[in-house]
Structure 1
Amino acid sequence: MQFSIEQRERYTEVSGKGRLNMVTAPLLREVVAQAVGDGRTRIVLNLGEIIFMDSSGLGALIGCLKVARQAGGDLRIACVQPQVKMVLELTSMHRVLAPHPTVEEAFGND
């Protein structure tokens, strides 16, 4: 799995495709840590093409959120697919990482 990074006007968009699991979760953490290390602390994870997420993927999301917030920024998620949404809801993580309908709406008027 590859993750792409695009710098937008007010945030950095990180996108992936496929499965966010124990194999790919470390890569997501690395990509977000690199972006934050480069000073891009407002991150939107575009999950529109992530069709599956397990507990390792969930752990990666939490880790990425922590990295962004420790740097004075924030991490938000957008375009969440049904299986990923189910995992977020079953673990109540949707309260911490509220899914946004689109990438553009993730930071809204912030």
Structure 2
Amino acid sequence: MLNLEQINNLEDLKKAKADAFGNEGEIFKLQKKLKSASIEEKKALGQEINKLKKSYEEFFAQAEQRVKDILINNKINSEFIDVSEPSRKPGSLNPITIIEERLKDW
């Protein structure tokens, strides 16, 4: 079974999704069994597949949120913001003022 603590980045999340929903995953194997099952078994197996899909979807939603939180925390911890630095760079002179200064110096 999948463990939330094992998923720490987007690559782990993609791999876990592929393992769960891919051609080798539990859901695919159950769907294969569904083809050869009797009508009563199909009903029970279908419900089991739906429950499993729902639990996987909830798990992956939590895992995705956890990965996003980890990425945000890493970005926050890696960025350094100097609050003493001015936020805006000083502007430049008006073009008319520049021409006036040139004329004075000429």
After TM superposition, is the score higher than 0.5? no
Larger radius of gyration: 2
Could you say which structure has the higher strand fraction? 1
- Which of the pair is proportionally richer in helix? 2
